[in-house]
Structure 1
């Protein structure tokens, strides 16, 4: 028996295709979008035409017939150039469309997935709330079923929701308390809310430190009514469903973080070869060489971690711990690599015209979004049998 970590021909072709797209299409344009806080509709449309939003979904729903590993490969290559574009794809697929694919009825899948897979429409994932943060089980948004109209009536607020307010956003799947267990704990369900539904208000974009070319907003629901048929999955199982979605999403975020970390290496190698100080390239200095060597070591190790977690997912093996390990490690080394890349670039690293400045600003959120580093450590400890 042999163990081969190399990509097969199909995966490698995808990786190369996305790599070329990132360098030829994303890199020349994204800086302007980023500095103007504009959503890159043109780039997203091209990603849709390439089939990136449909990578892990079956062809019967308009997908590419690929898998989650293929999605993560694409995310890593995009994030080597820009994280705003990568997070738009990640959230649109793993958080927007995947819950419908995993838990939706046949009718829900036929209704929503074709447009989500084509990139014609974006979906969003409404979980986080202003007063709950990492405590997703503390959901305060409520939904009651009106028996006279057979509609869910939703009230509450969600925050930090990616892809929720673009011109092509078509739906947000929200978690809401729909009842109580005998011991008083909430029953949380998931409900699909189409964009433009009366009572559903999307706030203006946040002013963010990073990810400036992605869409992030607060959402509010004031007696927002949707049909009872918009329930996603089993009633009272919304929390469990989204925990599964978050486990998968952490692999995707790990791939994205790995891409950012590798992008820092790419930019630092190029700069070290061309930037001269005291009559020679700074890359001739051992101090710079060691910094970049350590950066490459971190990115390589992070790649092994997310690929291991993704492999376990594809083989239907337990992957919760491995996903948490990958997300924790890759997000923290992305921050480290971004800091070191900025240091290598010196004053130029503080200038927004250089990609490493954008990477530095984008990296920190990776230790927070889709489960903070502290939450990942809790999950790992629990999987090791440590409770309390």
Structure 2
């Protein structure tokens, strides 16, 4: 089906990103996977390309674009090539909205120029060893010093994407106890300097997929965080997190649908070339039926994603609608990619084939951004259950 989401400027940007991937990313990607992260200078390359600051106002060194669609284009192009830009997605898709929405003018002047250039990479630390989707259970805590100049941060986080290379980390912590009426009260966000004494990067976690985005354990032992590095109001973090989750979940829906489209392309190319019993695999009726089923499912997901993108652009994407998109598209992509891998036979299980990378990379989409079980809860609640 014809899409009408993008204009010519978006398509021009797509060409730039596609060329960049072909020349700078694809030739090096296997090595980056072995290293478990992209080179630190790669983020500076992205800064020079302008993609880190697309939605940052010009006064802070960005391009000043207010729309979401350029990020969508970039996600689609990385999926098309079965590559990733390391922790880029967290830096621009998750962290940046918080800085833009809740940062003071002084904080923006201090942080955003380095953010845009790639000299200051960021991450966000929510998940803890005993707390995943239940953010109200966060135990990492920070208390204000007696003179009010700084907070003293203690605790631990895990599964922090970009945590190894991050220069600043948005740490969600408890600055006051929860109340009986509201378990979510008392959470705040501190923007922590990774060079602070007592800040420690623990293990770089080994994942089955997304291997170029470094994922780490972090710990904080009496880390002094200047009071002026509190992001937004003290105790208001849960509301901030809730406000940003629809975009995060939409981005997952975009990414998984793009990955499914890429998987179909790889499968079509493979079955046309691969011969079994003296004829191309593409000639078998089962192959045609599987491809047809995958295409139909993809277009259903794409229609849902495109509608959600337009709603997000106008500020009308609800929490429940984002949950629907994330749930449906991630589950759908899992089914499509699995079928496309099956069409590759034994070669689909080999990492030298991009379908294998898509298979392992996409699996986590049903877990992060809130598990799909949580998405079902949100959707059911919106229906009155």
8 Å Cα contact 2:5/2:306 also seen in 1: no
The RMSD of aligned alpha carbons is 2.0
Aligned residue for 1:121, secondary structure, equals: coil
Kindly provide the CA deviation profile for residues 201-241 of structure 1, in whole angstroms up to 9, marking residues without a partner as x. Answer: 11121011111111100111111111111110111111110
8 Å Cα contact 1:251/1:326 also seen in 2: yes
1:78 matched to which residue of 2? 78
Aligned residue for 1:179, secondary structure, equals: coil
1:314 matched to which residue of 2? 313
8 Å Cα contact 1:27/1:81 also seen in 2: yes
Determine the C-alpha separation between the residues in 2 that align with 1:37 and 1:318: 35
1:33 matched to which residue of 2? 32
Q: What's the CA shift for 1:313? A: 2.0
8 Å Cα contact 1:94/1:245 also seen in 2: no
For the pair 1:326 / 2:330, whether they are aligned, the reply is no
Task: Quickly say closer, same or farther: Cα 1:351–1:4, change in 2 above 3 A.
Answer: closer
Determine the C-alpha separation between the residues in 2 that align with 1:203 and 1:93: 24
Q: What's the CA shift for 1:95? A: 1.8
Gaps of 5+ in 2: none
More deviation, 237-246/6-15: 6-15
- Give the TM-score, by structure 1 length: 0.92
Kindly provide the CA deviation profile for residues 59-116 of structure 1, in whole angstroms up to 9, marking residues without a partner as x. Answer: 222222222222122112212223542x622111122222111111111111111221
Aligned residue for 1:173, secondary structure, equals: strand
Determine the C-alpha separation between the residues in 2 that align with 1:107 and 1:298: 48
Determine the C-alpha separation between the residues in 2 that align with 1:282 and 1:243: 47
Q: What's the CA shift for 1:249? A: 0.9
After superposing on structure 2, the runs of 4+ consecutive aligned residues of structure 1 that deviate more than 6 Å are: none
Which one of the candidate residues 164, 171, 176 is aligned to 1:174? 171
Task: Quickly say closer, same or farther: Cα 1:270–1:40, change in 2 above 3 A.
Answer: farther
1:102 matched to which residue of 2? 101
Task: Quickly say closer, same or farther: Cα 1:341–1:199, change in 2 above 3 A.
Answer: same
Determine the C-alpha separation between the residues in 1 that align with 2:377 and 2:83: 26
- Give the TM-score, by structure 2 length: 0.93
8 Å Cα contact 1:76/1:257 also seen in 2: no
Kindly provide the CA deviation profile for residues 238-289 of structure 1, in whole angstroms up to 9, marking residues without a partner as x. Answer: 1110122222111112211122111111211111121112222211222112
Determine the C-alpha separation between the residues in 1 that align with 2:52 and 2:363: 25
1:133 matched to which residue of 2? 132
Determine the C-alpha separation between the residues in 2 that align with 1:300 and 1:43: 34
2:304 matched to which residue of 1? 305
Determine the C-alpha separation between the residues in 2 that align with 1:225 and 1:116: 22
More deviation, 14-23/147-156: 14-23
Aligned pair count reads 381
Task: Quickly say closer, same or farther: Cα 1:80–1:230, change in 2 above 3 A.
Answer: same
2:49 matched to which residue of 1? 50
Task: Quickly say closer, same or farther: Cα 1:58–1:347, change in 2 above 3 A.
Answer: same
Q: What's the CA shift for 1:29? A: 2.1
For the pair 1:114 / 2:113, whether they are aligned, the reply is yes
Determine the C-alpha separation between the residues in 1 that align with 2:203 and 2:227: 29
Q: What's the CA shift for 1:182? A: 5.3
Aligned residue for 2:62, secondary structure, equals: coil
Q: What's the CA shift for 1:181? A: 5.4
2:63 matched to which residue of 1? 64
Determine the C-alpha separation between the residues in 1 that align with 2:178 and 2:202: 33
Gaps of 5+ in 1: none
